Amino acid sequence: MVNSTTAALALLASIACGACLAQTAPVPGEPKSAKTIALEAGAKVLQSAAPLRPFNLYMVGFHPMKEHPEHQMEAHHYCHQMNEDFAQCTLFDSNGGNARLNGIEYIISEKLFATLPPQEKAFWHPHNAEILSGQLVAPGIPAPAERALMRSKINSYGKTWHVWNTGHEGGASDQLPLGPAMLAWSFNRDGEALPTLVERRDRRLGINSAELRKQRAELQKLARPQSGVDDLKGKFARPTRELPGVVAQPAP
């Protein structure tokens, strides 16, 4: 059962960030007809959206593609914390009303990750660097609630597939979902994320990643070595630096 802290965080996230909308590109196609609008209105009244209602936890981070790490994008997560060890998230390219659904992410605890076979672990990226660096944020909720949320995600892992290139830093978007799904990863060293990617997100949401990093330094003592920390090591043309508290798990 999800404890009261997690439930409270989800409620706060569901009502937060009404003023931090990000714009997204339009999808090609004709405007909705009167018939389509009427059908949608009827469906809203008559049909159930039960599976969607629990997706009330909102977080924003960044994803590089594992096979193409310079393909980096901002990722808006809307998550359902199903229990203390498992969450499932839908990913969008913004938090506006016309945001494009471009991926999914599953988040599991260190305990569940330990049960996976070695070949499966290669699909799951570590989260400690995202948290300790200040890159992963939950916009709009009070600072103590966000700290509690990030504390609950220390040592967790994510399995993320992006199914639509809706634009990445320095690259154009595809108008439609094209090609195969791409496995996303996490940044685990300073310098891996393009500075403009982080700066633009911070400016729009009115946050300061550098200040968040200082505030989250206390979480370093909880961070244990993680699998996948070195998977993108040496794959960037620019210099990178170790991030305090982020340690690679020794190879078996």
Q: What does the alpha-carbon distance between residue 145 and residue 73 come to, in Å, rounded to a whole number?
A: 26
pLDDT value, residue 167: 86
Over its C-alpha atoms, the chain yields an Rg (Å, rounded) of 18
Digit-coded pLDDT (tens) for 90-116:
999 999 989 999 999 999 999 999 999
pLDDT value, residue 124: 98
The distance in angstroms from the start CA to the end CA of the chain is 33
Q: What does the alpha-carbon distance between residue 20 and residue 207 come to, in Å, rounded to a whole number?
A: 11
Any domain includes 144 = yes
pLDDT value, residue 100: 95
pLDDT value, residue 137: 97
Q: Which two tokens stand for residue 222?
A: 């909880």
* 237 against 220, higher pLDDT: 220
Average pLDDT along the chain:
87
pLDDT value, residue 54: 87
Lowest mean per-residue pLDDT among 117-126, 165-174, 207-216: 165-174
Any domain includes 9 = no
Mind giving me the DSSP string for 85-142?
TEEEEEEES-SSTTPPEEEEEEEE-HHHHTTS-HHHHTT-EE-HHHHHTT-SB-TTS-
Any domain includes 44 = no
Phi and psi for 192 in degrees, rounded to 5?
-75, -40
Any domain includes 161 = yes
For residue 142, pLDDT beyond 90 = yes
For residue 15, pLDDT beyond 70 = no
Q: Is 149 strand, coil or helix?
A: helix
Sign of CA dihedral 39, 79, 24, 207: positive
- Determine the structural domain holding residue 139 and report its residue range: 55-252
Q: What does the alpha-carbon distance between residue 67 and residue 232 come to, in Å, rounded to a whole number?
A: 9
Digit-coded pLDDT (tens) for 18-72:
445 555 667 667 676 776 565 556 556 555 678 888 899 999 999 999 999 999 9
Q: What does the alpha-carbon distance between residue 245 and residue 126 come to, in Å, rounded to a whole number?
A: 13
Any domain includes 81 = yes
pLDDT value, residue 11: 47
Q: Is 146 strand, coil or helix?
A: helix
Any domain includes 191 = yes
For residue 243, pLDDT beyond 60 = yes
pTM confidence score: 0.85
User: Containing H/E element for 195?
Assistant: helix 195-205
pLDDT value, residue 35: 60
Phi and psi for 75 in degrees, rounded to 5?
-125, 120
Q: Which two tokens stand for residue 34?
A: 């009167």
DSSP 37: H
Q: What does the alpha-carbon distance between residue 141 and residue 146 come to, in Å, rounded to a whole number?
A: 6
Any domain includes 98 = yes
For residue 1, pLDDT beyond 70 = no
Look at phi and psi of residue 247 and say left if phi exceeds 0, alpha if psi is from -120 to 50, else beta.
Answer: beta
Question: Domain tally for the chain?
Answer: 1
Any domain includes 34 = no
pLDDT value, residue 252: 72
Q: What does the alpha-carbon distance between residue 127 and residue 149 come to, in Å, rounded to a whole number?
A: 13
